[in-house]
Structure 1
Amino acid sequence: MTQEMRQEIVKLARELPDELLAEALVFLQNLTQEAQKTQPDNSATIEQSEFDKAMAAYQVISEKYKNALRELAQ
């Protein structure tokens, strides 16, 4: 995983509400475990397509949370 990917994960994790953060971490852990099963000789990497899916999901969740907060603030 590149430094840029790690920074993006941290950025998105900061934007998530606490109640969604645990679920997001479990999802990332599951992706890592699946990658280790399919690529036992290179367990430190996650397939890029799976990582992209995870990042897209986190962005959607983060945007929904932000929009909900904006609506509540009005």
Structure 2
Amino acid sequence: MTTASALFEVFKTLPTKSKKEFVHLLAEENEKTNIFMNSLERGLKEVKAIEAGEKKGKTLKEILNGN
């Protein structure tokens, strides 16, 4: 899978608000953000596991509290 293909697969799973933020992030010309491929792939696997009911999703509050 190419980097672009993997990135698009991750993008398709994002909520609408996150898609807009992601597009805005890509559109910024003066800033550079490092996105590591393995992090994207791991995130995609986790999203698919949550959608399949294999893993429980967490709220932001749970993540910040370390739960």
TM band (smaller chain): 0.3 to 0.5
**TM-score normalised to structure 1 length:** 0.41
**TM-score normalised to structure 2 length:** 0.43
Structure 1 or 2, whichever has the larger Rg, is 1
